[in-house]
Amino acid sequence: MHAPESTPPKLGASGRIAAAFQSNALTPLLALVALLLGLFAVMVTPREEEPQINVTMANVLIPFPGASSADVQNMVAKPAEQVLGQIAGIEHTYSVSRPGVAVLTVQFKVGVPRTEALVRLYDVLNANQDWLPRDLGTLAPIVKPKGIDDVPVVGITLWSPEGTPASELEAVAHTLEGELKSVPGVREVTTIGAPGRSIQIDIDPTRMRERGVDLLSLQKTIAAANFGMPAGSVVDNQASQGGALMLSVEAGEFLRNADDVADMVVGVSKGKPVFLRDVARISTGAQQAGSYVWFMQGAANGSNSSGVAAPAGQALPAVTIQVTKKPGENAVDVSRGVGERLKALQNTVIPGDMQATVTRDYGETAAEKANKLIQKLAFATGSVILLVGFALGRREAVIVGAAVILTLTATLFASWAWGFTLNRVSLFALIFSIGILVDDAIVVVENIHRHQALYPGRTLAQLIPGAVDEVGGPTILATLTVIAALLPMAFVSGLMGPYMSPIPINASMGMLLSLAIACVVTPWLARLWMKATPAQAADGDKTQLHGLAARIAPAFERLFRPLLDDRRGRRNRGLLGLG
């Protein structure tokens, strides 16, 4: 009778997965998909300096014409704060009272969706329209939502070395606004520091009295003149081949310039029409400025990009054009598009004697910091691969490196799908977890290496499932333990919650993906790239060492042999303890 052959041990979940994928034609396809998805995520994920924490805010403007600041505060602002305090999810509400208007700022708690917050705000305002007396004189509230996307990503300062006043720079700035709004991804373009243009009418009381024109009728005449409206329609029955043609008729027109205002007829005196220029002096000029912008270049700048020398240390009048981006757009692409459009408008829309200097470029700084962190991530990955190559061998290092790269690319895609951007916190999470992500692949490769020494007669296809299964349970447990320690950080409330959430979420997703790749892709790579050990029956070959262990084992043997010697080891250990 023959002795029964020993049956191979039953494999666990990780061993069965390794056995199923180590020779499967689907495995390289999965690896290629993970790589391509990661490259796709790197190209489409918006890049920012910091994580975007969307705190919904809104300004509620309540006009109260003719009222002083004290009346606005007592009669409008304080009651309005009581009404807006009814909204659920509000962090705080505060108000600013100005002559003729009350400005109330409502800030919602972090995590309240923007649409839901604004719906609550409008519901409360509509449900409490009777909170002020009807004849008080206030106008309907105006709601202006504010959020993270209202922060400008590009700031362009328009100035002139000759000191051109802001009122003249304003016309060029308004033309630039329309041109920059055509850039893809641009949401809003505004100009600050522009005083605005106005037509000023200086009344001459003596002339008005001589011509019998009073101030009230003059005001009504001017208001009525700047008005246009449809006056009906006319049917043209003579239209050729098309039947009757309807023509719309409009009465009145809007005033366009100072000459139109001066030519207005405001009365009749001695049978002759009285024009506005007969009783007033009309001029075009700048309004009273609400804000000022000054531009100053240091001596280090020398001259601007066009070679025009700029006076160093001299403050020049300027206006600044602010550009915001649409939600979800890449700040890097928006700022780059604005810069290219600005260069194309130089010496066309922007006169040669004016300069447009980019004083804020959020996209450039975000790209610079993101690229620097990506370089550090690549350096950390390369350092790990070199260390594995020094310890286990070149082939093993290539396997571990491929597993780490696939893990990082798959994690970047998962991060993009989750809604994160490429910023210093999300990339720090990957750099922070790179040492943990590489553990799974190293443990699997090292154990396959060890099984080659223990069972030199077996092929890699026979060794790999058992080697993976042997370390699968502890590896899964270690991965879940680290995730359990990191994941609670994602549930922190307040501003720090959304700010720090990329660290636990990205690290946890990365470790789960690393575990999956270690059980699916790493066995397939090991079967193809690791050297097969020749079949040898000698027991001494079972303990053959490889890689770093083969290099440092003799040194450790020389170091510990005196301590482990049968005759003198005890005495040597005692002397070591006394020392």
Please check whether residues 423 and 458 belong to one and the same domain. yes
CB neighbour list of residue 117: distance below 8 Å, 6 or more residues apart: 56, 58, 89, 108
Q: What is the mean pLDDT of residues 174-186?
A: 89
Range of the domain at 372: 23-50+366-555
Share of the chain above pLDDT 90, in %: 14
Q: State the average pLDDT for the chain.
A: 81
* Token code pair at residue 375: 């370089």
Please check whether residues 62 and 43 belong to one and the same domain. no
| Contact call for residues 80 and 102 (beta carbons, < 8 A) | yes
| pLDDT attached to residue 414 | 93
* Distance in angstroms (rounded) separating the CA atoms of residues 292 and 200: 21
Q: Please say if the pLDDT value at position 12 is more than 70.
A: yes
Please check whether residues 46 and 63 belong to one and the same domain. no
How far, in Å, are 349, 554, 563, 579 from residue 573 at the CA level? 88, 20, 6, 10
Q: Residues of 99-117 as b/e, b for ≥16 C-beta within 10 angstroms? A: eebbbbbbbbebebebeeb
Q: What is the pLDDT of residues 348-391, one digit of tens each?
A: 888 888 888 888 888 888 888 888 888 888 888 888 888 888 87
Per-residue confidence band for 2, with pLDDT thresholds at 50, 70 and 90: very low
Please check whether residues 446 and 505 belong to one and the same domain. yes
Please check whether residues 399 and 496 belong to one and the same domain. yes
Q: What is the mean pLDDT of residues 228-257?
A: 53
Q: Per the domain annotation, does 304 fall within a domain?
A: no
Please check whether residues 395 and 467 belong to one and the same domain. yes
| Contact call for residues 324 and 334 (beta carbons, < 8 A) | no
CATH code of the domain in which 414 resides: 1.20.1640.10
Bin 192: left if φ > 0, else alpha if -120 < ψ < 50, else beta: beta
* Distance in angstroms (rounded) separating the CA atoms of residues 282 and 423: 56
**Helix, strand, coil fractions of the chain, as percent rounded to 5:** 55, 20, 30
Complete DSSP assignment for 462-499: HHHHHHHHHHHHHHHHHHHHHHHHHGGGGG--STHHHH
Q: Per the domain annotation, does 540 fall within a domain?
A: yes
Q: What is the pLDDT of residues 158-172, one digit of tens each?
A: 888 888 888 888 888
How far, in Å, are 362, 378, 473, 515 from residue 10 at the CA level? 58, 40, 14, 21
Share of the chain above pLDDT 70, in %: 85
| pLDDT attached to residue 310 | 57
Q: Please say if the pLDDT value at position 213 is more than 70.
A: yes
| pLDDT attached to residue 355 | 86
Q: Please say if the pLDDT value at position 219 is more than 70.
A: yes
- Helix (H) and strand (E) counts in the chain: 19, 15
* Distance in angstroms (rounded) separating the CA atoms of residues 18 and 120: 54
Q: Per the domain annotation, does 331 fall within a domain?
A: no
| pLDDT attached to residue 578 | 77
Q: What is the pTM of this model?
A: 0.70
Please check whether residues 78 and 30 belong to one and the same domain. no
Query: How many other CB atoms are there within 10 angstroms of residue 509's CB atom?
Result: 22
| pLDDT attached to residue 227 | 59
Q: Please say if the pLDDT value at position 497 is more than 60.
A: yes
| pLDDT attached to residue 424 | 83
Phi, psi of 4 (to 5 degrees): -65, 140
Reduce the secondary structure of 555-574 to three states and give it as a string. HHHHHHHHHHCCCCHHHHHH
Q: Please say if the pLDDT value at position 28 is more than 90.
A: yes
| pLDDT attached to residue 322 | 92
What DSSP element (H or E) covers 104? strand 101-108
Please check whether residues 472 and 441 belong to one and the same domain. yes
Per-residue confidence band for 314, with pLDDT thresholds at 50, 70 and 90: confident
Q: Per the domain annotation, does 61 fall within a domain?
A: yes
Please check whether residues 45 and 74 belong to one and the same domain. no
What is the number of structural domains in the chain?
Answer: 2
Q: What is the pLDDT of residues 546-577, one digit of tens each?
A: 556 666 777 777 777 777 777 777 777 777 77
Q: Per the domain annotation, does 169 fall within a domain?
A: no
Pseudo-torsion of CA 538, 540, 541, 546, nearest 10°? Answer: 180
Q: What is the mean pLDDT of residues 78-102?
A: 87
Q: Please say if the pLDDT value at position 308 is more than 70.
A: no
| pLDDT attached to residue 268 | 80
Q: What is the pLDDT of residues 103-122, one digit of tens each?
A: 999 988 887 888 888 899 98
